[in-house]
Amino acid sequence: MPELRLATRGSDLARVQTEWVARKLRRTHPGLTVSIVVIESSGDRDRESPVVTLTEMGAFVRSLQYALLDGRVDAAVHSCKDLPTVSPEGITIAAFPQRANPFDVLVGRQLDDLDVGATVGTGSPRRRSQLAFIRPDLKFVELRGNVDTRIRKVRDGEVAAAVLAAAGVERLGLEHDIAQEFTLATMIPAPAQGSLAVETIAGTDAFERVVAIDDPHVRAVTEIERLLLSETGAGCRSALAAYAVVDNQGVTLHGFTDDDGGPRRVVVTGDSGSAAVATLIEELRL
């Protein structure tokens, strides 16, 4: 009986995401045995460095990629926004499965209900910049820990509210803790937020099995958003945000950044992803 070994980080969210991928593979390939291999990443071991620093270093994905390269696993499941735009030689993204909710949510209280000067938990420059544009009175602090830990810190009163990715909260079944979901008009998400990436070694049986769960539309929009990251060299320390829409009319790309030139938000269109990205870079002055 054929078998496929899926690598995952050890967090609750990573396991839930990987089990979802495993179920999808089993349904697509009846008779395929899919096992899950938990691998601790250097990012999970580091309890001191800011999350944005660890993500920029690829600390949450490298251990899984090494396991893929040395044959301990056949595929690896990543949160796409943690994945650097360049992978080690020989590794390819075989599938971008169905995308979860790409937007951000506020846990604790709604934005309009926060007191003047309230403290909001988020270490993301992107989230801080867009919230400060709306509520310049707010104070921001870094929140470490998994989704459950961050929500617990809100409940315990360490912060008045926290900004989290909707996908993580919803995948863990914690929707009841959401006070507000930010719309595209309020907060543009991180490039590829809500998408999963399943990596394999190119040309293997595992690649052929995993590519069958690829969603062409999700791949199209995710690759456009990741192209922006690649072209600008922007990492998690930047406030860059992007959200792509692809339809019969072409590509619409929403973008935001905040640097020494101040906050800037634009919406551009193009006949192709590369054209839209080029226009966005020009209009955001990146």
pLDDT at position 144: 84
* Whether residues 32 and 65 fall in one domain: yes
* Whether residues 76 and 12 fall in one domain: yes
* Whether residues 126 and 254 fall in one domain: no
* Whether residues 132 and 159 fall in one domain: yes
pLDDT at position 47: 46
With beta carbons less than 8 A apart as the criterion, state whether 25 and 10 touch. no
* Whether residues 81 and 208 fall in one domain: yes
- In the structure, what pLDDT confidence band is assigned to residue 260 with cuts at 50, 70 and 90? confident
Please write the tens of the pLDDT for every residue from 46-95.
445 444 444 444 567 999 999 999 999 999 999 998 899 999 999 999 99
| DSSP-assigned letter for residue 4 | E
Domain that holds residue 161: 104-181
Residue 69, in any domain of the structure: yes
Residue 222, in any domain of the structure: no
In degrees, to the nearest 5, what angle opens at C-alpha 10 toward C-alphas 38 and 219?
A: 85
* CATH code (residue 45): 3.40.190.10
Residue 94, in any domain of the structure: yes
Between 67 and 40, the more confident residue is: 67
* Whether residues 86 and 108 fall in one domain: no
Alpha-carbon radius of gyration of the chain: 19
Residue 60, in any domain of the structure: yes
pLDDT at position 41: 65
With beta carbons less than 8 A apart as the criterion, state whether 31 and 2 touch. yes
CA–chain centroid gap for 22, Å, is: 19
b/e per residue, 32-63, with b = 16+ CB within 10 A? eebebbebebebbebeeeebbbbbbbbbbbeb
pLDDT at position 82: 86
As a whole-number percent, the residues of the chain with pLDDT over 70 amount to 92
Please write the tens of the pLDDT for every residue from 6-23.
999 999 999 999 999 999
With beta carbons less than 8 A apart as the criterion, state whether 38 and 8 touch. yes
Residue 257, in any domain of the structure: yes
Q: By three-state DSSP, how is residue 165 classified? A: strand
Number of structural domains, the chain? 3
* Whether residues 86 and 144 fall in one domain: no
* Whether residues 59 and 199 fall in one domain: yes
With beta carbons less than 8 A apart as the criterion, state whether 222 and 195 touch. yes
Residue 225, in any domain of the structure: no
* Whether residues 21 and 129 fall in one domain: no
Please write the tens of the pLDDT for every residue from 85-141.
999 999 999 999 999 999 999 999 999 999 999 999 999 999 999 999 999 999 999
Q: Looking at the predicted structure, is the pLDDT value of residue 209 above 80? A: yes
Residues with catalytic roles: 81-82, 126-127, 144, 150, 236
With beta carbons less than 8 A apart as the criterion, state whether 99 and 215 touch. yes
Q: Looking at the predicted structure, is the pLDDT value of residue 236 above 80? A: no
- In the structure, what pLDDT confidence band is assigned to residue 42 with cuts at 50, 70 and 90? low
* Whether residues 80 and 121 fall in one domain: no
* Whether residues 237 and 211 fall in one domain: no
- For every residue of 83-139, DSSP letters joined together read S-SSPPTTEEEEE-------SEEEESS-GGGSPTT-EEE---HHHHHHHHHH-TT-E
Flag whether the pTM goes above 0.85: yes
Average pLDDT in the 193-199 region? 98
pLDDT at position 254: 99
